[in-house]
A = this chain, B = another copy of it.
Amino acid sequence: MAPQQGTLLSYRPDIKVVDATLRDGGLVNSFYFTDEFVKNLYKANIKAGVDYMEFGYKASKELFDVTKFGKWKFCDEEHIREIVGDNDTKLKLSVMADVGRTDLESDIIDKKDSVIDLVRVATYINTIPAAIDMAEYCKAKGYETSINIMAISTASDKDIRQALELIGQSGVDMIYIVDSYGSMYPEQIRELAEMYMEIGGKYGKTIGMHAHNNQQMAFANTIEATTHGVSMLDATMCGMGRGAGNCAMEALLGFLKNPKYKIAPVLRFIQDNMLKLREEGLVWGYDIPYLLTGILNVHPRSAIECIKQNNTDYLDFYQNLWDKEC
């Protein structure tokens, strides 16, 4: 086992925190956040010392109906600027682009004309070459770039190693471990983190972690990854994200020892902004159906449906899941 990086009392200056509340949380409310919410989130992230704020997706308007989603599904430059102006702050801005779902030529403008700093390309392991093409395109436009390999819990070690070698040889800056199904335990994250650090590290890539909370492991897996050298850490306010949600920002900032991180602005943001979302009926976070999709290492879509229908026959849900998906 590789030696632990960092201790509980010291801090690693290479660690960066990415707020993905709008992007992953947007999957809960179809990206319909009010401007007030987004402005408050932006201000809270700046005060809290968060390093990157992800505004949403750069989704293709050819493929998605703009009347059916809030604007953060598309992240037009002008909409981001309405929130951040020229973003004359230390907080960097990020967007996500799904492989095959972004119109690069029309929607990714030159970095010199954009307030966006980082474009993260989300891909499954079987579309890595397309993801590299997209990331290289964005890199050439002047952006920092990341490739986020989703659903890594269903990929073989051999495929992951090959993917890491391919990305390693590209111009991409960062590679993310993404536990889309929230099915992984810390000892698996440890092994993955070591593999990513070994191959990614050889090529000078930064490694990131994006966790889901199906088994109440999002925070634990995030800090486990950190312990093995992973340095880009995704979190969201109150863990807001699809299904069981993500690593909670308030928990992560309570753990990190770098004095630049402040928990108070996050607490204030939560009490003034996040609680309303729940009152308005938005539902996310750990629940037993998510635990069960996590245990079986399958997509949470059936658990989301189960919870939407207030179905609490967990045993029946579990048996059906087993029959259908395993």
Query: Complex formed: what's the CA distance from A270 to B313 in Å?
Result: 9
Asked if A315 is at the interface of the complex by the 8 Å CB criterion, the answer is yes
Tell me what chain A mostly uses at the interface: helix, strand, loop, or mixed: helix
> Are A220 and B227 within 8 A (Cβ)?
no
Query: Complex formed: what's the CA distance from A93 to B268 in Å?
Result: 46
Q: Which residues of chain B are near A216, meaning CB under 8 Å?
A: 213, 216, 218-220, 248, 251, 286
Give residues 251-288 of A contacting B (CB, 8 Å).
251, 254-255, 263-264, 267-268, 270-271, 275, 286, 288
Q: Which residues of chain B are near A4, meaning CB under 8 Å?
A: 1, 187
Query: Complex formed: what's the CA distance from A242 to B270 in Å?
Result: 24
Q: Which residues of chain B are near A217, meaning CB under 8 Å?
A: 219-220
**Nearest 8 A/B pairs, CB to CB:** A220-B220, A254-B295, A267-B315, A267-B314, A268-B315, A271-B314, A271-B312, A216-B219
Query: Complex formed: what's the CA distance from A224 to B185 in Å?
Result: 10
Given contacts A185-B223, A216-B219, A267-B314, contact A250 B8 (CB under 8 A): no
Query: Complex formed: what's the CA distance from A220 to B270 in Å?
Result: 25
Interface size class of A (residues with CB under 8 A): 35 or more
Query: B-contacting residues of A (Cβ < 8 Å)?
Result: 1, 4, 8, 185-188, 213, 215-221, 223-224, 227, 238, 248, 250-251, 254-255, 263-264, 267-268, 270-271, 275, 286, 288, 291-292, 294-295, 312-315, 318-319
Q: Which residues of chain B are near A255, meaning CB under 8 Å?
A: 185, 215, 295
A278 CB to closest chain B CB (Å) equals: 10
Query: 15 extra interchain contacts, Cβ-Cβ under 8 A, other than A4-B187, A254-B291?
Result: A8-B185, A8-B187, A215-B219, A215-B251, A216-B219, A216-B286, A250-B291, A251-B291, A264-B315, A264-B318, A267-B292, A267-B314, A267-B315, A270-B314, A271-B314
From B187, B213, B271, B294, give the contact of A227 (CB < 8 A): B187
A302 CB to closest chain B CB (Å) equals: 15
Query: Complex formed: what's the CA distance from A32 to B98 in Å?
Result: 52
